[in-house]
Structures are given as C-alpha cells and as structure tokens.
Amino acid sequence: MPVFEGGYHPISPNITGAYPRSTNKLDDGSTLGACTLSTNGPDSELVLKHFCGSADYNDIDNPFPFVPTSTRILYAYHNHDRHPPKRDYDFFRVSVSYSYDGGVTFKYLSTNDDDDQDSLMRTSTDDGATWSDSNTISGRTVIARDGMLGIATLDNESALIAIFETTEYGRFMVSRVISHDGGSTWGEHADMYVPADGKQAGVPQIVNVGGTLVASSMTNEDGPNRPGAIDGAAKILASMDSKNTWNNKFTLFPPRSNWPGLALLHEDHFNVMDGVSGEGAIGRKIELT
C-alpha cells in the first residue's frame, strides 16, 4: 500500500516546469533531478543549478539524468530540429551531455538518432561516449506510436520489463514486453493498462521497489477524453507477482497533471514527480508498506 510521506516539494523554479525526472543518489546523499522549462522561444532545461540553453531552432525536452560513476553525471534529452515558419519537426535525435562537477556545468557528449517511432534500446560500455546499434524493443511489426519507455529489473539483473505507451488500437494505452537476457531479445508482449470507455493513458514509468513493481502513467479516465491523456491525473499500479497482475491503483496527482515520473530512493521508498498546471514540476516521497 503506497503512503505519502511529507508534502510536495518543488523541482522547477517556476510554474512552467514540466516532465520532471530524477535518478539515483550522489555520493553526498542528494538526488539528481531534471525538468523542462518553457521560455518565450524554444524549450530549455534545468538540471540542478545548471541551465542548458537551446539552439535557435532546436526543441530540447524529455530530460533524463543518470549517474554511472561516483564522479560522472550523464544527462539524456531529446534534441529535435524544428524550423520556421510553423516550427515543424524535421529531424529527431537523443543527445547526451555529461558533468564532472555535480551538475554545475555540462558538456555535450554524444547523439543517437533514428527515423522510426518504435521503442529502441542502445547500450554503452564507455559511460555514454559511444553507443551500440539500435535494438527494437517494441513496434517492429505494427504501425503505431510506441514510445515514452520505462525499464526496470524483474527478479534478477538479466530479467527486465519495459513498459511504453502505444496507439496500436487507435488510442493511447500502456503495454509491456519482457527480456530474459539483459535486453538482447524481447517478447511476451501484453496490454498492461487500458482505460475503460475509450479513455487514454500514456507516459508510463516503472521502478522495482523491494520486489514490488510500481508503474505510473497519466490518464484521463476520470475526466474529458483529450488527445494523449493531456491534463489527466497521474496514477500508479502495483504488481507483486513480477508483472502478471496489476492492482492497487492509486492517484498521485489530480487532473491537469502531465508527464509523471518515478525514481527509486530505498528498498521501500520512491519519489513521484509531475508537471502540475499552475504549480510547475513538483515531487513527493512515497513509502510502500
């Protein structure tokens, strides 16, 4: 049973903050976080105290921090090209920057790009400097918008679960696939969260909290059916049998919340984050009892 521990804590410095994400702790016990800030022009991002400006026609969004070593921080984000007059997207990429000073300053490291809307996996063995070829996790055999991927371990380090939003049936819902070999191959595709009455759910994330899988998504199942579940509520589901059944649905943030995220803190605690209309990017600590 999830129980809130304490109140909300702000992640962004103003109400434009969205798409908050955080990850494992640094050596000093602090947690690394990131969010997107909207500006008068292209989007920019905030990482701790570091502000990354964008190029004139780049759309920088969907940040995700990671700490591979005690001294190095990696920061992945989408870095797409948009051009006037309508600022239409014409090139899609994921870039990675790095920091050696706790996030005070960042430098560009590498870029991954692809031209398909599937869920892809690439691996790096040199802290993000170079990446393997793409391995398709989902979407290879269907025409759908698979994306917003979240991955967690199952019962051991080589067994993984990946969850993602998809429009395979015409509306956004959440599906999952399983790997038993550390991500080399994927299968066991199944629908995971399909809201009733034609409503939608998307932007899933997943963490393994002491053996219990906790998955989040935003959904408009309790309100107007806007495209992509925009301005829906953020909710979680839990599975205590390694993915087979999901229950204990719990509302994290009320409607007008967008792009929720999860991060493991301890064996029985995790952080929930969301971009809430009128408040910006905020988070809250939860204990799983």
Question: Do the bridges between strand 147-153 and strand 73-83 make them parallel or antiparallel, or are there none, so unpaired?
Answer: unpaired
* Residue 93 vs residue 153, higher pLDDT: 153
- Give me 27's structure tokens: 């050596």
* Residue-level pLDDT at 202: 93
- Domain annotation for the chain: domains and CATH numbers: 2-288 (2.120.10.10)
Label residue 207 by pLDDT band (50, 70, 90): very high
**The whole model's pTM is what?**
0.86
Q: Please determine, for residue 47, whether its predicted confidence score (pLDDT) is greater than 50.
A: no
Please check the confidence at residue 195 and state whether its pLDDT lies above 70: yes
pLDDT tens digits, 27-45: 777 788 888 887 655 444 4
- Amino acid (1-letter code) at residue 16: T
Reduced to 3 DSSP states, what percent helix, strand and coil does the chain have, rounded to the nearest 5?
A: 0, 55, 45
What digits encode the pLDDT tens for the residues 102-126? 888 889 898 877 655 778 888 899 9
Which pLDDT band, with edges at 50, 70 and 90, does 53 fall under? very low
Cα–Cα nearest to 61, from 40, 32, 92: 92
- DSSP lists the bridge partners of residue 33 as 22
> Over 70: is that where the pLDDT of 16 sits?
yes
**Cβ distance 155 to 175 under 8 Å?**
no
Cis peptide before 204 (omega within 30 of 0): no
Q: How confident is the model at residue 87 (pLDDT cuts 50, 70, 90)?
A: low
pLDDT digits (tens, 9 = 90+) for 162-179: 999 998 888 899 999 999
